[in-house]
Amino acid sequence: MNSARELASDIRESRKSAMDVLEDFLQTIDAKERDVHAFNLVDRETAIEVAGKIDETVASGRDPGPLAGVPVALKDNLCTRNLATTCSSRILEGWEPPYDATVVQRLRAAGAVIIGKTNLDEFAMGSSTEHSAFGPTRNPHDLTRVPGGSSGGSAAAVAAGFAPLALGSDTGGSIRQPAALCGVVGVKPTYGLVSRYGLVAFASSFDQIGPFADDVADAALVLEIIGGHDPLDSTSIPSPVPDLSHGLERGVEGLRVGLVSELLEGIDEDVVAQVHQTADALRAGGATVDLVSVPAVEYGLTAYYVIAPAEASSNLARYDGVRYGLRAEGSEVAAMNSATRRDGFGDEVIARVMLGTFALSAGYYDAYYGKAQKVRTLTRRDFDAVYANHDLLLSPTSPSVAFKFGERSDPMNMYRCDTCTVPSNLVGDPAISVPFGTGESGMPVGVQIMAPQLGEAQMFQAASFIESQAPERGTA
Of the residues 89, 127, 150, 433, only one is catalytic, namely 150
Does an H or E element contain 106, and which? helix 102-109
Minimum CB separation of residue 432 from ligand GLN in Å reads 15
**What amino acid occupies position 2?**
N
The single residue among 17, 150, 419, 433 that binds ligand GLN, judged by CB under 6 A, is 150
Contact 328, 377 (CB under 8 A): no
Cβ proximity to ligand GLN, 268 vs 348, nearer residue: 348
Minimum CB separation of residue 419 from ligand GLN in Å reads 10
75 is catalytic: yes
16 is catalytic: no
The interface with ligand GLN within residues 36-55 (CB under 6 A) comprises none
- State how far the Cα of 347 lies from the Cα of 332, in Å rounded to an integer: 24
- Which alpha helices (DSSP H) does 316-430 contain, by range? 333-344, 347-360, 371-387, 411-415, 422-427
Which own/partner contact pairs does 337-346 have at CB distance under 8 Å and 24+ positions apart?
A: 340/91, 341/91, 343/90, 343/91, 344/89, 344/90, 344/91, 344/92, 344/93, 344/319, 345/89, 345/90, 345/91, 345/122, 345/316, 345/319, 346/89, 346/90, 346/122, 346/131, 346/133
Cβ proximity to ligand GLN, 125 vs 257, nearer residue: 125
> Interface with ligand GLN by CB under 6 A: which range of 121-129, 211-219, 328-336, 386-394?
121-129
Residue nearest to ligand GLN (CB): 174
Contact 459, 392 (CB under 8 A): yes
The single residue among 18, 101, 124, 255 that binds ligand GLN, judged by CB under 6 A, is 124
The interface with ligand GLN within residues 87-116 (CB under 6 A) comprises none
The interface with ligand GLN within residues 404-423 (CB under 6 A) comprises 418
Of the residues 16, 17, 32, 75, only one is catalytic, namely 75
Tell me the helix, strand and coil percentages in the chain, rounded to 5: 45, 15, 40
The interface with ligand GLN within residues 157-176 (CB under 6 A) comprises 169-174
Cβ proximity to ligand GLN, 43 vs 170, nearer residue: 170
Cβ proximity to ligand GLN, 126 vs 192, nearer residue: 126
Backbone angles phi, psi at 143, to 5 degrees: -70, -10
Distance separating the N- and C-terminal Cα atoms of the chain: 11
- State how far the Cα of 400 lies from the Cα of 408, in Å rounded to an integer: 12
314 is catalytic: no
Sign of CA dihedral 444, 449, 453, 454: negative
Minimum CB separation of residue 470 from ligand GLN in Å reads 24
- State how far the Cα of 217 lies from the Cα of 145, in Å rounded to an integer: 28
Contact 90, 8 (CB under 8 A): no
Of the residues 128, 151, 174, 433, only one is catalytic, namely 174
Minimum CB separation of residue 176 from ligand GLN in Å reads 9
Cβ proximity to ligand GLN, 301 vs 476, nearer residue: 301
The interface with ligand GLN within residues 199-238 (CB under 6 A) comprises 202
How many residues of this chain bind ligand GLN (CB under 6 A)? 14
Minimum CB separation of residue 106 from ligand GLN in Å reads 21
- State how far the Cα of 351 lies from the Cα of 333, in Å rounded to an integer: 23
Minimum CB separation of residue 50 from ligand GLN in Å reads 28
Residue 127 found at the interface with ligand GLN (CB under 6 A): yes
Minimum CB separation of residue 171 from ligand GLN in Å reads 3
Cβ proximity to ligand GLN, 202 vs 369, nearer residue: 202
Contact 49, 22 (CB under 8 A): no
Cβ proximity to ligand GLN, 25 vs 304, nearer residue: 304
Sheet with 113-118: strands ordered across: 39-42, 113-118, 71-75, 165-170, 208-213, 185-188, 431-438, 444-450, 392-396, 256-260, 288-292
**What amino acid occupies position 242?**
P
> Interface with ligand GLN by CB under 6 A: which range of 39-47, 63-71, 124-132, 363-371?
124-132
Cβ proximity to ligand GLN, 100 vs 207, nearer residue: 207
Residues with catalytic roles? 75, 150, 174
Contacting positions for ligand GLN (CB under 6 A):
124-127, 150, 169-174, 202, 308, 418
